[in-house]
Amino acid sequence: MDMKKILIFSAALVALASCTAKFEEINRPGGTISKADFLTDGYGPASFLVQLQNQSFPEQENTYQMNVDLIGNYCGRFMTYANNGFSNTNFAKMNAPEGWVRYPFADCTPKLKSAYNELMQLVEEGSVEHALGLLFRTPAYLRLTDIYGPYPMGLVEGDDLAYSSQEDVYMALFADLDKAIEILAAHAGERVNAAYDQVYGGDLSQWYKFANSLKLRMAIRIRFADPEKAKRFAEEAVAAGVITDNADNCMISYNPNGQYKTSVEWGDSRACADIEAFMNGYGDPRITQYFEPAKTEADRAIVGCPAAANIGNKAIADNLYSAAKIGQTDRGVWMTAAEITFCRAEGALAGWNMGGSVKDLYEQAVRLSFAQWGAGSADAYLADETSTQNDYVNVTNGYGGNYGKASTITIKWDDQASEEVKLERLITQKWIALFPEGEEAWCEIRRTGYPKVFAPAQSNSYGLKVPNRVPFDPREAQTNKANYEKAVQLLGGSDNYATKLWWQR
């Protein structure tokens, strides 16, 4: 029985037990249910905490496709569309339909705020449930602000629809994480009801590591925008204890897995040419763990499709290019020890105390990724100082053209290289290891310019390889006009795909 069914079944049992055990009290005049009744067996908090998890780690097929796959996976150059219905208007071309543009905002925001507000009505300040509520909503707000920029997180007193600057949203999320970390530290070694938790089964020590790791991820994100705060937050996170082992990876149980639906069952997405050219060029054994062989015979097993290609026929594209290698019941991957160790490596590159040298952390991160994917020893890979990204040669009758390699960066670490070459090498390997976390991949390209990616197969009016952001929900200009205009001021540029986010500047 999958987790959703278990939760529904458990909830039904709790509800039934509550009704029979307290029938006379619950059916008192007025028909109201007291807070104490709703808290029986923790069902009330559990239901809202699960809702928050489902917004921060979305695997439900429609939410995954609209909030993650079409944006992060495609702009992060892990996947691209194979559906010819997406060919003319999409995020890769930076002219997505209004329904796509507004979807993450309109879908996620009300669910996020509702679940959190309901939870806060039920739990005590400073409780474990309070800490988990703060923690579970943070990745969702982080994704939303990294898509749009300024965001109506509810920080402006008296106006829940008012936007805050991206910097203010980040600082609020850091404060939430610090509060959650403080509470969770006081409950080290404890467990909560597994019904709260589709990721770690109620193990608070693992959520404590995740909270510190998320803080480190965010600190690295703002490294160039606010170096002083980034250093402080990163060093605090590492000192407190981050994810260092694959056993602590953040992977959510949800059936069916979101990427299984979009790539395997629906066939809407296929491997992108960028990641294929890097991994095939490097002889990277993880590629056969990431993707399935293409169904049409080609000069290589794993074949990617150029981003923003003008797909003429979905059935043909599905056969020409590789689907994700993912099963219906596989757990969704949202944070790994490899990613966090790469974050530590970059922090060390910046001169921060990350508990190791850049070289050691870089190599450790690659080894963790190989172990995560069952790809064998990474020794030969890490010693390779000659392999580079391949030129991209499209398959016969493929969509899009050919590309000369965008990058000549090699794998083996070189302490004598320039700081820029070191950064490119580190981020290119981090990006490969981030799969399938497309949102994070897109953030790395925007934040650092690495890895170097191919130009989109169809041009866009901005002359960009990837968008810097997604425009605000177009309806906001009519239904929330004053706040929309303030949001554009906070953005510091036009409300389009080209304006850079705060942490890119």
Residues 6+ positions from 315 with CB-CB distance below 8 Å: none
- pTM across the whole model: 0.92
**What dotted CATH number matches 3-25+34-260+326-462+470-504?**
1.25.40.390
Model confidence band, residue 25 (pLDDT cutoffs 50, 70, 90) = very low
Torsion, Cα 209 214 218 221, to 10 degrees, reads 100
Q: Quick one: pLDDT at residue 196?
A: 83
- pLDDT tens digits, 359-399: 999 999 999 999 999 999 999 999 999 999 999 999 999 99
Burial of 291 (0-12, 13-18, 19+ CB in 10 A): buried
Supply 111's token pair. 């669910």
Decide: helix, strand or coil at residue 272: strand
Which residues, in sequence order, are bridge partners of residue 250?
Answer: 335
- The pair phi, psi for residue 459, each rounded to 5°, is -70, 165
Q: What is the pLDDT of residues 301-317, one digit of tens each?
A: 999 999 999 999 999 99
Q: How confident is the model at residue 505 (pLDDT cuts 50, 70, 90)?
A: confident
The tens digit of pLDDT for each residue in 44-74 reads 799 999 999 999 999 999 999 999 999 999 9
- For residue 57, give the amino acid letter: F
Structure confidence at residue 269 as a pLDDT band (50, 70, 90):
very high
- Core vs surface per residue 255-283: b (16+ CB within 10 A) or e: bbbbbbbbbbebbbbbbbbbbbbbbbbbe
219 vs 177, 215, 433, CA distance in Å?
Answer: 12, 6, 19
Tokens matching residue 396:
């016969």
Asked if residue 78 has pLDDT above 90, the reply is: yes
Residue 236, number of CB atoms within 10 A of its CB: 17
Per the listing, tokens 């510190």 go with 212
Nearest-5° Cα angle at 84, 80 to 85: 105
> Is pLDDT above 60 for 30?
no
Domain residue limits, the chain: 3-25+34-260+326-462+470-504
Of 213, 217, 224, 219, nearest to 248 by C-alpha is 213
Sign of CA dihedral 347, 208, 442, 501: negative
How confident is the model over 87-96, as pLDDT tens digits? 999 999 999 9
For residue 257, pLDDT beyond 80: yes
For the stretch 194-251, pLDDT in tens is: 988 999 999 999 999 999 999 999 999 999 999 999 999 999 999 999 999 999 999 9
End-to-end CA distance of the chain: 48
pLDDT tier, 188 (very low <50, low <70, confident <90, very high otherwise)? confident
Q: What pLDDT was estimated at residue 155? A: 97
